[in-house]
Structure 1
Amino acid sequence: MAAQGVAEVNEHIEALLGDADAFEVAFEVLQHAIAGHDAETVASLVDYPLDVVIDGRRIVIEEEAEFVERYDEIVTDPVEAAVTDQAYADLFVNGDGVMFGDGEVWMSAYCTDRSCEAVYWLVRAINIPE
């Protein structure tokens, strides 16, 4: 569902995924890291293994070091633009996560324990436009 503003985005995040405050931090960190071409920080925000399609081939990125090594193949100009141009108030939120752009990047909440009272946010999908 498309949101109308920051407050509504946060309401939807809280209702569907939990802890909008933590998401706001993750959103800012991801945007700044991608804008600064900080491959290590971006890699630390990814849930592994990460499946990506590069040049028509499905590739599984197993760990941060591999992500950093292949950063320019994964975070292409369209992926970078989808993240850096994304306005918080225009985020799409559903039960699967939060979408940047037209689905180039998705972030999801992960529980820190069984109670799931506290969550952390990671990139769960990067869809590289062809």
Structure 2
Amino acid sequence: MKKIMSLILILICSISFLTGCEKDDKSDADVSKDDVIVSESTDNENSKEDQNEDNRYYVGGIDDPVKFEEMFNEVKKFVSEDNKEKVSEYILYPLRVNHDKSTREIKTPQEFIENYDNIFTKEVKEALLNQDVKDTFVNYQGVMVGNGEIWFGSSQDSSKYGIIAINN
């Protein structure tokens, strides 16, 4: 009796297995485009999406976070040394300087160097020197230092990063 029950049980399991694995009535020729999921993104697009997820500065127009952070820390170093000439190399001209509800555009490195002490006030310097690049605020306008004292961004072709505005 045990052998018969075992055989019946094996038979039932086999039938269940076979009916569960039975192929759909459609042949390969009957498969429509609605039955197939196609991924249209390439590996290159996927890697770009992955980079954007790892790049906290992306929304601010910064494509290379490593390059941006290096530039940020160089600017910080040069400001701490009051190296006007080196700081001027990290300005994306024209630089917008906002002060007491008025705006001024600094158009050249020479003009920036001449006005450095009026642009990089004590408060602006402190905001930058106390700012960790990883703690900056980022939005579509750029990367903000402190309470908006300095804004960093990228050139129109995204090939260079630098200071785009100062609020003192």
Scaled to the shorter chain, the TM-score interval is 0.7 to 0.9
- Secondary structure of 1:102's counterpart equals coil
1:15 and 1:60 map into 2 onto residues whose CA distance is 25
Instruction: Tell me the TM-score normalised to structure 1 length.
Output: 0.78
Equivalent residue, structure 2, for 1:119: 159
Gaps of 5+ in 1: 1-9, 113-117
2:146 and 2:156 map into 1 onto residues whose CA distance is 25
Residue 28 (structure 1) aligned to one of 65, 69, 73: 73
Contact 1:74–1:126 (CA<8 Å) still a contact in 2?
A: yes
Instruction: Tell me the TM-score normalised to structure 2 length.
Output: 0.62
Aligned length: 115
RMSD: 2.1
Which structure has the highest helix share of the two? Answer: 2
Contact 1:51–1:60 (CA<8 Å) still a contact in 2?
A: yes
1:60-99 equivalence runs, <5 A: 60-99=105-144
2:151 and 2:97 map into 1 onto residues whose CA distance is 12
Gaps of 5+ in 2: 1-53
Contact 1:54–1:73 (CA<8 Å) still a contact in 2?
A: no
Q: Which moved more, 1:10-19 or 1:97-106?
A: 10-19
Contact 2:92–2:155 (CA<8 Å) still a contact in 1?
A: no
Superposition deviation, residue 49 in structure 1:
1.5
Larger relative contact order (C-alpha < 8 A, sep ≥ 6)? 1
Residue 12 (structure 1) aligned to one of 56, 65, 75: 56
Q: Percent identity?
A: 32
Which structure has the highest strand share of the two? Answer: 1
